[in-house]
Structure 1
Amino acid sequence: MEFNCFGENSVANNFGGKDSPQMHKSVLNSKATEDSLCTFAKWEPRHGQFRFRHPWSQYQKLGTLCRQCASSMEALASYVITTSKTQCPAAANPELSCKVRKTCGEMSLHSSKVLRDLAMATRTMTVPSPVNITMATAVKAAESLRSELAENTALLQVMHVAVTATLLADLVDRVKEIAECVDVLARLAHFKNPEDTKNVVVSTVSRGIDEPLPDVVIL
């Protein structure tokens, strides 16, 4: 994507090719499967962490937000691929392109980290680690970029870069909504707190050392 948008050599210069990540496309058509799984799950007896009145509807809401995020990814990917085929990637204003590229890199890095952490938390049913700092950094970068696009008319000289940056900023908004939804799910479904689990293990080991088990007496 960097090669297509900013005219830089990158391992992603085959963006859209066979080796390009396409995992988001499977999310776009996941609604029917998710609805069926949630319907069947509601009829299952209570077991493990799946208690009575488990918030399955929140999973469906999370799925909707994930599809919106995947849709934003698809829009971004489609635009980048189209741009690379219709115009020269070399920017008319290298200085502005470099500035936008740096901001886009920050948004991509922090957003992807947040999504990985949220996916792991949902899969393991543990309270997600605080993403406030990481998410705030991505949101701040997106807001700063939007402000720059609105005020700096020189960015019109690199319109394809500006559009790409705007689409990426919208993607950050979708990630923020997913983070908020997972926080609600963790509270409603009583996700485990990793710190509590760690404390239990430490406490058990400590008792084993300080308070050895009594000898077994055979009568």
Structure 2
Amino acid sequence: MGSIVIPIPDGDQGFTHDIKQEKKFQASLSSTISFVQKNKDEIRKVIHAIKVGIALVLVSLVYFVDTFYKEVGDDNAMWAIMTVVVIFEFHAGATLSKGLYRGAGTVVGGGLGGLAAILGQLVGGIGNPVVVGVSLFIFGGAATYVRLNPNIKKKYDYGVMISILTFNLVSVSGLGGESVIEIARERFLMIVLGFAVCICTSFFVFPMWASDELHDSTASKFEGLASSIEGCVEKYFNEKENQSARPIASFKGCISVLNSKAKDEPLLKFAKWEPPHGKFGLSHPWEKYQKIGETLRELAATILSLEGSVNSPGESLQALKESIKEPCEAAGSSLARALRELGESIMKMRRCQPGASIAPKLKVARQELSQAMSSFKLGKLDNAEGFAIACFVFTLMGVVEKLEDLSKEVEELGELAGFLQD
């Protein structure tokens, strides 16, 4: 009788298989996360496009509800769709502000246009178009003149433009003998409907908060400036070793901060319009972000001024640089650590107590730089060479002063915003 061999799997075989599966899952998860991070902006654009599509579908349902459609008519129903197309912006705060400006402009322009149309109908005959024409000329010209004012154009340009458009449409509609009040009412209701659809879609379907973007953008600038300081000091004192990687790499953070104003200003404006959400309360001090941004740009400009020292031919100064290398590198490290700590404080919304933790670092940096500038070390140098080195050290001292101002601004932000205590 033949023997039957029953294979018994190795006890470790199943365990090894599980490990391989886990590693594959981790690798897949890691690649997915990496893809999302690299294409974050594109993904957000796709989400925004989908949200606009959803809003257009919802507002177009007006055409499919027979009772509602017959009530408002084709000419008025399209105003809901126009409202979605015009006011739906990428950030939630931008959508809200633009919608409210559109509503205010519609009320003002529609109200005045209705009065002009009613007055024209009361005059009647040939006087009707004359009254409407004169009203269009006066209101259109006056509103356009007001719109050219820089302060009005910066803040209320869209609302004024909508008021001019609505005034024209409502006042002219009265020339056909239609009920001006009824037309204005129906169109205003359609605008309100479009506005409501935009707000609900923008706020509740993957909302894009300008406040989150501004907060994260402000916090990330600190790391860029810290890296710029470290890279600058390293290149200045290790010139021969860094001939191939010279000037721009260590100043990318500064250039990015200096170019950030055009992006941050709209974010700040939209953040003020957004309702309380997440970690941001009703009275979050957004003005402090503006002040911190200005101080960061001043600090970036000061750091960038070190580029002249880094790029200047310094082979003859290499021996002289060695005499101040140690204190300057120590000062640079202290400044970079202080910057990172301030940035982390904003990112995590926790108070870092600048008086207890940042001030000692800045004090050490100032002492190190004062040591480098001592008469004992620079008194024997040639005037031109001594001046070149002194410019570099004095600029670093300027960085210390700017960083002290910055730490005060961050501390005030923590107090006003109610950051948690470490």
Do both proteins adopt the same fold according to a TM-score greater than 0.5, normalized to the shorter chain?
Answer: yes
Match of 1:212 in 2: none
- AA at the equivalent of 2:245: N
- AA at the equivalent of 1:32: A
Aligned pair 1:126/2:364, yes or no?
no
Match of 2:336 in 1: 112
CA deviations 1:19-54 (Å, max 9, x no partner) are: 545122110011122121111111111123312221
**Structure 2 gaps, min length 5:** 1-231
Residues 113/171 of structure 1: CA separation in 2 closer, same or farther (3 Å cut): same
| Same amino acid, percent of matched pairs | 25
**How many residues were matched structurally?**
186
Structure with bigger gyration radius: 2
Residues 8/74 of structure 1: CA separation in 2 closer, same or farther (3 Å cut): closer
TM-score normalised to structure 2 length: 0.40
Residues 180/144 of structure 1: CA separation in 2 closer, same or farther (3 Å cut): farther
Match of 2:101 in 1: none
Residues 6/123 of structure 1: CA separation in 2 closer, same or farther (3 Å cut): closer
| Secondary structure class of the residue paired with 1:90 | helix
User: CA shift at 1:55, angstroms?
Assistant: 0.9
Residues 4/27 of structure 1: CA separation in 2 closer, same or farther (3 Å cut): closer
Residues 167/188 of structure 1: CA separation in 2 closer, same or farther (3 Å cut): same
Judge conservation of contact 2:302–2:395 (CA < 8 Å) in 1.
yes
Residues 35/7 of structure 1: CA separation in 2 closer, same or farther (3 Å cut): closer
| Secondary structure class of the residue paired with 1:166 | helix
Judge conservation of contact 1:91–1:158 (CA < 8 Å) in 2.
no
Match of 2:268 in 1: 38
Judge conservation of contact 2:335–2:400 (CA < 8 Å) in 1.
yes
RMSD of equivalent CA atoms: 2.7
**Structure 1 gaps, min length 5:** 195-219
Residues 175-214 of structure 1 correspond to what in structure 2 (within 5 A)? 175-194=403-422
User: CA shift at 1:119, angstroms?
Assistant: 0.9
Judge conservation of contact 1:104–1:165 (CA < 8 Å) in 2.
yes
Matched residues in 2 for 1:123 and 1:2: separation?
A: 26
User: CA shift at 1:160, angstroms?
Assistant: 2.1
Matched residues in 2 for 1:4 and 1:53: separation?
A: 44
User: CA shift at 1:125, angstroms?
Assistant: 1.0
Residues 150/41 of structure 1: CA separation in 2 closer, same or farther (3 Å cut): farther
| Secondary structure class of the residue paired with 2:420 | coil
Match of 1:206 in 2: none
Residues 1-219 of structure 1 correspond to what in structure 2 (within 5 A)? 5-6=236-237, 9-11=240-242, 14-16=245-247, 19-81=249-311, 83-84=312-313, 88-91=314-317, 94=319, 96-128=320-352, 130-146=357-373, 148=374, 152-155=378-381, 156=383, 157-194=385-422
Judge conservation of contact 1:38–1:56 (CA < 8 Å) in 2.
yes
Matched residues in 2 for 1:54 and 1:8: separation?
A: 46
Residues 89/169 of structure 1: CA separation in 2 closer, same or farther (3 Å cut): farther
Query: Which has the higher mean CA deviation after the structures are superposed, 180-189 or 161-170?
Result: 161-170
Matched residues in 2 for 1:150 and 1:105: separation?
A: 19
Matched residues in 2 for 1:55 and 1:5: separation?
A: 39
TM-score normalised to structure 1 length: 0.73
Matched residues in 2 for 1:121 and 1:21: separation?
A: 23
| Secondary structure class of the residue paired with 1:48 | coil
Structure having the higher helix fraction is 2
- AA at the equivalent of 2:322: C
Residues 77/149 of structure 1: CA separation in 2 closer, same or farther (3 Å cut): farther
Residues 108/183 of structure 1: CA separation in 2 closer, same or farther (3 Å cut): same
- AA at the equivalent of 1:117: E
Matched residues in 1 for 2:234 and 2:358: separation?
A: 30
CA deviations 1:160-187 (Å, max 9, x no partner) are: 2222112122112222221121111111
